[in-house]
Structures are given as C-alpha cells and as structure tokens.
C-alpha cells in the first residue's frame, strides 16, 4: 500500500509573531457643521504625526503616547457631535509603499520615545493612604505634560499636602474620598478643547495671570496645536520629553516636573511688567 505523502504546510499559515508591529487605528466620522472641526481634527492629526490610511482612518504606534493622543481626540470628536472609535490592528497587505514608509518612520519615532528601565519601585499606594489623612488625587500611570503640570498646580495652589496615586484607568475602581484628574469621567479632566490644567487653573486660580500663561503653554503641548503660540512651548515640550524618557517612575517625573514648573512660573513672573521689571 502506497504511503500518503505528508501534506505541505499551507502558504496561508499565520505569520510569525512580531513580524508586523501592532498599530492603533482611529476611525472617525465628523458632522457637516461646524466647518472648523474638520480643519481642527486634520491639524491635530498632523501634530500627532499620525499616518493617514484612508480619508477617515489614521494610525499611530500602539504605545501609551499614541493611545493618549487618540483617546483625547475621540473625546473632542464625540463632544462635537461626531463619531470616533479606536482599535488595535496589524497591517498584513494592501498598503502602498508610501504609507509603509510613513508607518516605518512613525515606528522609529516611537522607539526613540521608549523610557529607560525603572530605577526604583514606586511606593505601595495603599500604605500611603493608611499612613496619612491627606487628600488622595488619582490619575493615570505614565504621566506626561498635562498630568505633571496638573499635579504641580494641585500641590502649589489647591492642596499643599496632596498625595498622588497612579492607576490603570481601565481597571480603576473609585474609592470614596479620592479625587480623580485627567481621566475619563474624572472630577477634573478635559472640558471641550481645554486640557485638565486649564480646567483646574480656571477653577482654583482664575485671577492669576501668570498661571494663565502657563496654561496656554501646557495646552499647546498637550493638545499638539499652536492655539496660543507661546514661544516657551517648544522648549518646555523638549524638557518634558527628557523627563519622561529618563525616568519611568511617575513619582520621579512629578518631582522633576515640579521643579521645572516652579522655575517657569518664576521666570514668567519676573517678565511681567511691574515695579523693578521695566
């Protein structure tokens, strides 16, 4: 009896893992009005350096930066009456060489932003709550410019003894007495096109003109636009990038960021017209 030959492996077998990196895809549909919304979204996507895949589909590397950028944009699109969803995908076929090259450049930029390994473990947040009666302010892990600046504002203007806790937003369960910021459904977060820092500043220090200037700088960095065009924004953005690249600990990022914003506030105060500053 003739033995059957072993079947050759299918050419359509699953690709080996890691061959194509995962991507975040933003799919959106904008309302006909207002007209400026389409231009605003287009400019925001350009500032994010998102790769256009189709007319209403854009891609970013599946990392914390890309997710945060897209999530806030989704929030704004939905608030304006549009529809937007976020999904993770792998590109297998059908992309033209130009888009593949753009994706490769986006992936290289993401690799340049990868943080160094943590130098120390953060303290246990549950122990921190037991040992103190201070208010606990909760935000998402991997803090960036808006959360660093907001925590600085909280400590300097709202609650000098504030304690901060960093959580995975999707898994977080609200604890009585906590105050959340820069998270979805938080007590203090983005409102319209205003970032969290702007919301806090307008609520707790509306008459501080220097803080209002800091808010403009934070807005342009966080929202990736030039709405206010403050000349300090590009330099502050690079310094914040340096902090996030060099330090993976959120506590250390706040410590370094607090010093940075203290110095910025002092410099802006000295530059304001007044006695002895003319």
Residues of the chain with CATH 3.30.70.240: 23-112
The mean pLDDT of 208-225, rounded to a whole number, is 94
Whole-angstrom distance, CA of residue 8 vs CA of residue 191: 59
- Chain position carrying tokens 């799919």: 27
The answer to whether 141 and 168 are in contact (CB under 8 A) is: yes
Whole-angstrom distance, CA of residue 201 vs CA of residue 196: 9
Q: 52 pairs with which residues across the strands?
A: 58
What does DSSP say about strands 51-54 and 57-61: parallel, antiparallel, or unpaired?
antiparallel
The verdict on whether omega for the bond into residue 34 sits within 30 degrees of 0, i.e. cis, is yes
State both tokens at 258. Answer: 């607090």
- Chain position carrying tokens 């410099």: 267
pLDDT in tens, 118-169: 333 233 333 333 333 478 999 999 999 999 999 999 999 999 999 999 998 8
Q: What is the CATH number of domain 23-112?
A: 3.30.70.240
What does DSSP say about strands 163-167 and 136-140: parallel, antiparallel, or unpaired?
parallel
Q: Where are the alpha helices (DSSP H) in the chain?
A: 35-48, 64-79, 97-112, 125-131, 145-153, 196-204, 209-222, 233-246, 250-271
List Cα–Cα distances, 276 to 112, 207, 267, in angstroms.
Answer: 44, 22, 14
Neighbours of 11 (CB within 10 A): 5
| pTM score of the predicted model | 0.61
Q: Which range is most confident: 53-57, 75-79, 231-235?
A: 231-235
Label residue 257 by pLDDT band (50, 70, 90): very high
Whole-angstrom distance, CA of residue 241 vs CA of residue 253: 10
- Chain position carrying tokens 């000349």: 231
List Cα–Cα distances, 223 to 151, 170, 172, 177, 201, in angstroms.
Answer: 18, 22, 25, 30, 16
pLDDT in tens, 160-216: 999 999 998 878 888 888 999 998 778 899 888 899 999 999 999 999 999 999 999
């Amino acid at each position: 009896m003739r033995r059957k030959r072993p079947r050759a492996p299918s050419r359509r077998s699953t690709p080996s893992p890691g061959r194509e990196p995962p991507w975040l895809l933003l799919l959106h549909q904008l309302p006909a009005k207002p007209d400026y919304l389409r231009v605003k979204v287009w400019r925001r996507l350009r500032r994010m350096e998102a790769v256009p895949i189709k007319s209403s589909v854009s891609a970013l590397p599946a990392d914390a930066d890309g997710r945060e950028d897209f999530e806030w944009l989704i929030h704004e699109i939905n608030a304006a009456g549009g529809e937007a969803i976020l999904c993770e995908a792998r590109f297998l076929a059908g992309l033209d060489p130009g888009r593949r090259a753009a994706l490769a450049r986006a992936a290289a930029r993401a690799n340049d932003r990868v943080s160094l390994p943590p130098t120390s473990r953060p303290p246990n947040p549950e122990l921190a709550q037991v040992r103190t009666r201070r208010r606990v302010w909760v935000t998402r892990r991997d803090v960036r410019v808006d959360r660093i600046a907001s925590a600085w504002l909280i400590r300097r203007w709202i609650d000098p003894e504030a304690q901060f806790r960093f959580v995975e937003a999707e898994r977080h369960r609200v604890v009585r007495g906590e105050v959340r910021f820069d998270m979805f459904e938080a007590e203090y977060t983005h409102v319209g096109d205003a970032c969290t820092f702007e919301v806090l500043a307008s609520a707790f220090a509306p008459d501080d003109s220097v803080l209002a200037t800091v808010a403009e700088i934070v807005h342009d960095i966080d929202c990736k636009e030039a709405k206010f065009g403050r000349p300090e924004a590009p330099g502050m953005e690079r310094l914040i990038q340096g902090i996030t690249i060099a330090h993976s600990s959120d506590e250390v990022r706040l410590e370094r960021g607090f010093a940075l914003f203290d110095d910025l506030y002092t410099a802006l105060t000295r530059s304001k017209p007044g006695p002895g500053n003319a």
